Amino acid sequence: MKRLFALLGIMFFFAGCGRQLPQDAAIMVGSETVSKDKLASALEPFHGDSQLVNLRVESIINRLLILQDAQAREFDTRPEFQRNTYAIENKQLRQRWLERILDEKVELSEDTVEEYYSQLGTMVSYTSITLDDSILCDSLRQLVLNGHDMGNLVEQFSIDSYEIAVRGIFGPVDLMRSSSEDFKLLQGLEAGDVSLILAFDSNWKFLQIESIFSDSVPPFEDIGESISRQILGNLRDEYRLRLEDSLVTVYDLRITSGVPELIAEHAIDNAGNYEPYSSEQEEIAAYTFTGGERSLLDLVEDIRDMPVFVFRTPSDHEWVESYCRTQGLYDMMAFEARKLQMDTLPEILSIVGRQASDELLDVYYSLVIEPGIEPTSAQLLEMYEDSLSNLIVYEKRTFKTIGAIGEDQLETLHQIVSEGEEPFNRVDDLTPLVDLLAPDETVLTNPLAFNDIPAPWNEMLFGAELFETVFCSLSAERVLVFKVEKIIPEHQASFDESRESLLEPVRVMNEEKVVSGLVDSLRSVYHIQLDRNFIDGFIYADSLIEIIPSEPVSSDSQEII
């Protein structure tokens, strides 16, 4: 869709202007209008630049033409579009409702801030570990009590990526400034103490105090505002949790028995893809609450549409059950917002309308534009012949590789090398580098280019001779062993080697032609009207923006350009 936006903005075509418009409208395309206020916001950054102003106006017209055609093709009635649009509105409503409730219910007194300030000055450094298994958490806590290094355990077992990156070490931080969960665990501990286990959400956590000392505190005037924000944030979080519990009770949220297990059984991968359901299964209510429900199909599609960077495990029925609770809460908040008629607020309508239009452009691109841009073999061959001198396949190498990780494996590697044996023959005693290996191989890599390997090891590996062995020390307890097995010299790419790299530029070229022809044809279908005087107010730097509008006319009046 972003590419479609860019293409719509590139096309430049002005053939006239319209003066017979509703009083508050600056652009009308078919039945769609753009108000003068909205157009002014869009054009103000380009004030005085005639080319950029005209391009911006033209991109708006082209966007409206595409949206009109999408509606004419009834793409806005497709179930997936309606589902996504409903989700967009739900998100805006629940966020706005929650903000309003928290603003109304959570207040902060000056005494609270001053009391908090009086308790500052105790600095703590500690190690934290977060797990998703209570039994494992208890076992690791016992190991730490028995003297095991907690940092090593964090690297091996923590489910928190930040904890892993810093070996679980936090601070020094003022005790009062630690997170609410950590603050509870740190209360009453001395240096060296290990906390009890705290359960939060679906995870478990414990801490170990490394050091504790007193420090001076900045003047109240310097940090009072930041203290207020922190306390208010904590109070809002506490109130939100109570509010969520209340909603679950009031609305009687119920997850349909067997649905989490059914969804988990159909899950193919953690990206949210799933095996097909029967039509009867799709209509099952995943969960219900007083006044509404969410179907199984809606829920699994929602999981699949989650951003790729968001953690999800749809094959785990417990995760699915937790997700049902979360989405149920969101639905109930949106339900409360609709009861207050927040779905009629102008700012909500504007945001939802814009995002729904973006969603419709996505649908249009996938159904109308994308099918017509796939390159033909003749196009690819022509592009290949035109670009032949620039198509170079840089040197690649294949290696045998194995890793030694930890004290025991390093000792084993030392013994293997001392005895003149090949480390690559001892896969069971060392660690295979799975991410680098070719399919069905235990030690042989895919062909690797220089940039596939991080510095400084790429210099070492690509400076080695054929069949030379190179030892790469990543840390005190991590060594990787490589042996050059094959060198593929740099050469001019063949047509088959270039095919993948040629696909994208040919698609871009085809897109420009398809979209250009499409927009030109739509101009003959839908009437376009402009308030040229209003637009010219942004082109000429010494012109007034507030142009006296032309006389209003009925919406039936049209001027074709």
Domains of the chain (ranges; CATH) run: 2-74+512-539 (no CATH), 121-216 (3.10.50.40), 395-489 (3.10.50.40)
Q: Which two tokens stand for residue 20?
A: 């017979």
pLDDT tier at 352, thresholds 50, 70, 90: very high
Radius of gyration of the chain (CA): 31
CA distances from 70 to 414, 415, 507, 517, 558 (A): 67, 69, 22, 16, 21
CA distances from 285 to 57, 244, 262, 295, 297 (A): 46, 21, 12, 4, 9
As a whole number, mean pLDDT of residues 101-115 equals 88
Please classify residue 290 by burial: count the beta carbons closer than 10 Å to its beta carbon, then call 0-12 exposed, 13-18 middle and 19+ buried: exposed
pLDDT tier at 16, thresholds 50, 70, 90: very low
Q: Following DSSP, what letter does each residue of 486-542 receive, concatenated? A: EEE--EEPPHHHHHHHHHHHHHHHHHHHHHHHHHHHHHTTS-EEEBHHHHHHHHSTT
Summarize pLDDT for 489-502 with one digit per residue, the tens. 988 888 887 888 88
Distance between CA atoms of residues 45 and 537, nearest Å: 13
Summarize pLDDT for 426-473 with one digit per residue, the tens. 999 999 988 889 998 999 999 999 988 888 889 999 999 999 999 998
Element (H, E) at 184: helix 180-186
Q: Following DSSP, what letter does each residue of 347-377 receive, concatenated? A: HHHHHHHHHHHHHHHHHHIIIIIGGG-PPPH
Q: Following DSSP, what letter does each residue of 108-133 receive, concatenated? A: --HHHHHHHHHT--EEEEEEEEEES-
CA distances from 123 to 167, 170, 173, 198, 215 (A): 19, 11, 5, 21, 7
pLDDT tier at 396, thresholds 50, 70, 90: very high
For CA atoms 210, 211, 216, 217, the dihedral sign is positive
Q: Is it the case that residue 376 has pLDDT exceeding 70?
A: yes
As a whole number, mean pLDDT of residues 127-154 equals 93
Would you state the torsion angle of the CA atoms of residues 155, 157, 159, 161, taken in this order, to the nearest 10 degrees?
10
- pTM, to two decimals: 0.64
Find out whether 296 and 277 touch, Cβ atoms under 8 Å.
yes
Task: State whether residue 174 is helix, strand or coil.
Answer: strand
Task: State whether residue 276 is helix, strand or coil.
Answer: coil
- Which has more confidence, 419 or 332? 332
For position 161, what pLDDT does the model report?
Answer: 84
Summarize pLDDT for 411-432 with one digit per residue, the tens. 999 999 888 899 999 999 999 9
Q: Is it the case that residue 4 has pLDDT exceeding 80?
A: no
For position 10, what pLDDT does the model report?
Answer: 42
Q: Is it the case that residue 558 has pLDDT exceeding 50?
A: no
Among all chains, which residue has been given the structure tokens 């997170």? 179
CA distances from 34 to 41, 57, 125, 270, 359 (A): 11, 10, 57, 42, 19
As a whole number, mean pLDDT of residues 331-357 equals 94
Q: Which two tokens stand for residue 78?
A: 């497709």
Would you state the torsion angle of the CA atoms of residues 148, 152, 153, 154, taken in this order, to the nearest 10 degrees?
140
Helices then strands, each counted (H, E), the chain: 20, 16
Contacts of residue 58, Cβ cutoff 8 Å, sequence gap at least 6: 9, 11, 12, 13, 14
Q: Is it the case that residue 3 has pLDDT exceeding 90?
A: no
Distance between CA atoms of residues 530 and 34, nearest Å: 10
Give the number of other Cβ atoms within 10 Å of residue 96's Cβ: 20
Closest CA to 527 of 20, 7, 10, 35: 20
For position 20, what pLDDT does the model report?
Answer: 64
Distance between CA atoms of residues 143 and 145, nearest Å: 5
Q: Is it the case that residue 560 has pLDDT exceeding 50?
A: no
Distance between CA atoms of residues 337 and 341, nearest Å: 6
Summarize pLDDT for 86-101 with one digit per residue, the tens. 999 999 999 999 999 9
- Which has more confidence, 554 or 377? 377
User: Of the given ranges (81-85, 280-284, 308-312), which has the lowest mean pLDDT?
Assistant: 308-312
